[in-house]
Chains A and B, each alone.
Chain A
């Protein structure tokens, strides 16, 4: 079993779409998969038509108790389960902060689930803080969607610096270009320079496509709502690359 985080310290870069589509493709490939919605906005939960829990606090994640396993919901797809977002994830930072081994709390909480799933995908909110550190220690691989804009690239560099400061290896991070519009000159320029000069940038890219935006409408992964579409094929290519990377050496 392994854990993949889809993370960015910048919002609106296509994190949830990536997490949802990769989770679906993994499940289709026969991996028993769990997607964990860590984002208080509960987008992934919404995509899978699961009702976010409003009442209970994020006890599960914070205490790593059995509550967590009980909160898991099956999705509409075989091999794919969801740990729904909880609005009180908003308070996660604080809660993690108050406990011992505060940077490993998430890792510990997920421990009992690792036996059950081949792949756990974390859909993370856009923050750099204690939650981010928890995500990094809980994941084998952190996948960062990157829009080819100056600001986005700057945020990515900040992330790498942050990791260095925290004494983490930059090898844990892979980036891929997301929401790419090839007709925009800046996108082309940044794409070229990033893919040639930076290590850890995947070859697959996800174009800016309306089929992806419409996920909110269909509430289904792209390969389900538009199986032959460019969007579906792009995610498939990305998954193939990520899969090779994840399962290459144990």
Chain B
């Protein structure tokens, strides 16, 4: 069998030495060297050229140039740096895609890929896709930097003109022109089998003039630097550090400013429709902003609070349809998977309809974001958030934020415990929905004020809350989707036979989801009891309940 296959497989390494690697040919050794010393990599100072390499070795050796391989590679990550966040990097060099360690350059997986990577589901099946997909999920990959590489090979000859070692000179530039200075330049000594002593001797000579590059150095950080990129600069999560004594008005502004930045950062991605998470992050930031305004009432003058709550609410409404459609279309594969074979294709008209509808919804959102009114609202909001706090104009504006945070968190927690306990007695869907909203509010508060409390305890509380939220969220999502599916299916303009089939398929989906909801309901009690356990309540009380001397 696989003789042909195995020869093909063997030929891959040759392609990969084609100067497209982060450090070109020097970075990966050929098989015949596996039994040898490892290559030594030297960092070259600016202006160190080929003549100088030759001159350094001239006493014992001559060097002979072989081909220079010119290539380029591009690094991809999601907008929110998910791969970098896991210390990974995805490098595409025209023909293949390589997943590497960001800090050590180690190749984890590779696969052939002719066109630039976009989404995980477009990648060839295999271990690379599996790992990348679990990290980036539905996010699209975007191009971060493109580096151009020159990889020149030299043979080092002894007095008998026998090759006793190889040198590889790698240069990486931000442009395709050889004129510009490289942002990385390395010389690698590759030992050859049977000539280890010579390679060591060559390295010793070079060491007098050059510094050995650390094994862990990779070209990726310098590439980011060369392009003015800093990994992990964007995150959809709030990352504020508040000091406990900060006046509440000021602290709230810090939080809202960061949320506004998140909104702004996502606008281009929403308009370009790069993936559905831009809109999601944007909407979450809007919702959190509104939630901050209403949960921290009294921090700003009431008229301002109401005004901006209304404006932010309008932004939420503007994007509602698009998000609903995104969620539905994302679930299409899931719907198909639960439909019996006979009904599988019957939701096709529904999906087609929603796709067309989504295109319209997208243009509504895009127009909305480009409208003059929109930029006016945001400018106004920006101005408000950057104005120095005037403590006197609002009742709670001058209170130390820690006091307000404790009070609001504790109040919300107690309220959830109360209403949840009520639900345990009679589980009504409405009540579950309400509880879900309460939980979300608490979650936002915990996120806003995470920096004010011990991280370990906060994490414990948050993860308990998360479990409760997941349960409630799943329940509510299923309700929403059932209603959504039914209303869309009813409104479809189809010929009768087709319409009937769509309704049957929809009915099946709705029934399946309703049954799933029953399971969730059954699970709720256990999860809630844990959340409201005496120990947990005690812990929350210790952390958040009113302390002596708090002013409010």
Q: A residues bordering B, Cβ < 8 Å?
A: 29-32, 49-51, 69, 71-76, 78-79, 81, 116-118, 246-250
Is B160's CB within 8 Å of the partner chain A? yes
Which residue among B31, B32, B160 has the maximum number of chain A CB atoms within 10 Å of its CB?
B32
With both beta carbons as reference points, the residue of chain A lying nearest to B35 in the complex is identified as A69
Contact yes or no, B3 A73, CB < 8 A = no
Contact yes or no, A116 B31, CB < 8 A = yes
Contact yes or no, B10 A32, CB < 8 A = yes
Contact yes or no, B1 A74, CB < 8 A = no
Inter-chain CA distance A247–B9, complex, in Å, is 13
List chain A residues, Cβ under 8 A from B162. 49-50, 76
Contact of A250 among B1, B14, B160, B193 (CB under 8 A): B1
Which residue among B7, B34, B35 has the maximum number of chain A CB atoms within 10 Å of its CB?
B7
List chain B residues, Cβ under 8 A from A29. 7, 11
List chain A residues, Cβ under 8 A from B313. none
Contact yes or no, B30 A79, CB < 8 A = yes
Interface residues on B, range: 20 to 34
Contact yes or no, B193 A73, CB < 8 A = yes
Inter-chain CA distance A43–B456, complex, in Å, is 74
Q: B residues bordering A, Cβ < 8 Å?
A: 1-4, 6-7, 10-11, 13-14, 30-32, 34-35, 155, 160-163, 192-195
Contact yes or no, B7 A73, CB < 8 A = no
Please, could you name 5 A-B residue pairs with CB atoms under 8 Å apart, sorted by A?
A: A49-B161, A74-B32, A79-B32, A116-B34, A250-B1
Contact yes or no, B10 A75, CB < 8 A = no
Contact of B7 among A50, A71, A79, A247 (CB under 8 A): A247
Closest beta carbon of chain A to B436's beta carbon, Å: 59
A249-B10 contact in complex given A74-B195, A116-B32, C-beta closer than 8 Å:
no
A30-B14 contact in complex given A49-B160, A73-B193, A74-B193, C-beta closer than 8 Å:
yes
Inter-chain CA distance A116–B31, complex, in Å, is 7
List chain B residues, Cβ under 8 A from A249. 1, 3
With both beta carbons as reference points, the residue of chain A lying nearest to B66 in the complex is identified as A78
Closest beta carbon of chain B to A49's beta carbon, Å: 4
List chain B residues, Cβ under 8 A from A75. 163
A81-B3 contact in complex given A49-B161, A74-B194, C-beta closer than 8 Å:
no
List chain A residues, Cβ under 8 A from B155. 76
Closest beta carbon of chain A to B389's beta carbon, Å: 68
Closest beta carbon of chain B to A140's beta carbon, Å: 11
Contact yes or no, B4 A73, CB < 8 A = no
Inter-chain CA distance A81–B155, complex, in Å, is 15
List chain A residues, Cβ under 8 A from B160. 49, 51
Closest beta carbon of chain B to A78's beta carbon, Å: 6
Contact yes or no, B7 A118, CB < 8 A = yes
With both beta carbons as reference points, the residue of chain B lying nearest to A243 in the complex is identified as B7
With both beta carbons as reference points, the residue of chain A lying nearest to B14 in the complex is identified as A30
With both beta carbons as reference points, the residue of chain B lying nearest to A28 in the complex is identified as B14
Contact of B3 among A50, A74, A116, A248 (CB under 8 A): A248
Contact yes or no, B193 A32, CB < 8 A = no
With both beta carbons as reference points, the residue of chain B lying nearest to A75 in the complex is identified as B163
List chain B residues, Cβ under 8 A from A250. 1-3
With both beta carbons as reference points, the residue of chain A lying nearest to B1 in the complex is identified as A250
Other than the given A49-B160, A73-B194, 19 more pairs (CB < 8 A) read: A30-B11, A32-B30, A32-B31, A32-B32, A49-B163, A72-B193, A72-B194, A73-B193, A74-B193, A76-B163, A79-B31, A79-B32, A81-B193, A116-B34, A118-B10, A247-B3, A247-B4, A250-B1, A250-B2
List chain B residues, Cβ under 8 A from A30. 7, 10-11, 13-14
List chain B residues, Cβ under 8 A from A118. 6-7, 10
List chain A residues, Cβ under 8 A from B161. 49
List chain A residues, Cβ under 8 A from B32. 32, 74, 79, 81, 116-117
Closest beta carbon of chain A to B316's beta carbon, Å: 58
List chain B residues, Cβ under 8 A from A79. 14, 30-32
List chain A residues, Cβ under 8 A from B30. 32, 78-79
Closest beta carbon of chain A to B463's beta carbon, Å: 49
List chain A residues, Cβ under 8 A from B10. 30-32, 118
Contact of A74 among B2, B6, B34, B163 (CB under 8 A): B163
Inter-chain CA distance A247–B35, complex, in Å, is 26
Closest beta carbon of chain B to A104's beta carbon, Å: 23
A31-B7 contact in complex given A75-B163, A76-B162, C-beta closer than 8 Å:
yes
List chain B residues, Cβ under 8 A from A73. 192-195
Closest beta carbon of chain A to B30's beta carbon, Å: 6
Inter-chain CA distance A50–B6, complex, in Å, is 30
List chain A residues, Cβ under 8 A from B4. 247-248
Closest beta carbon of chain B to A4's beta carbon, Å: 13
Inter-chain CA distance A31–B7, complex, in Å, is 7
List chain A residues, Cβ under 8 A from B195. 73-74
Which residue among A30, A31, A69, A117 has the maximum number of chain B CB atoms within 10 Å of its CB?
A30
Closest beta carbon of chain B to A95's beta carbon, Å: 23
Inter-chain CA distance A246–B34, complex, in Å, is 25
Inter-chain CA distance A74–B195, complex, in Å, is 8
List chain A residues, Cβ under 8 A from B193. 72-74, 81
Closest beta carbon of chain B to A130's beta carbon, Å: 28
Inter-chain CA distance A51–B161, complex, in Å, is 12
List chain B residues, Cβ under 8 A from A246. 3
Inter-chain CA distance A235–B121, complex, in Å, is 46
Inter-chain CA distance A226–B312, complex, in Å, is 76
List chain B residues, Cβ under 8 A from A116. 31-32, 34-35
With both beta carbons as reference points, the residue of chain B lying nearest to A77 in the complex is identified as B163
Which residue among A49, A74, A118, A248 has the maximum number of chain B CB atoms within 10 Å of its CB?
A74
List chain A residues, Cβ under 8 A from B7. 29-31, 118, 247
Inter-chain CA distance A163–B1, complex, in Å, is 28
Inter-chain CA distance A75–B165, complex, in Å, is 10
Closest beta carbon of chain A to B198's beta carbon, Å: 10
List chain B residues, Cβ under 8 A from A74. 32, 163, 192-195
Q: Which 10 A-B pairs have the closest CB atoms?
A: A74-B192, A73-B194, A30-B11, A76-B163, A49-B162, A247-B3, A74-B193, A30-B14, A250-B3, A32-B31
List chain A residues, Cβ under 8 A from B13. 30
List chain A residues, Cβ under 8 A from B163. 49, 74-76
Inter-chain CA distance A50–B162, complex, in Å, is 7
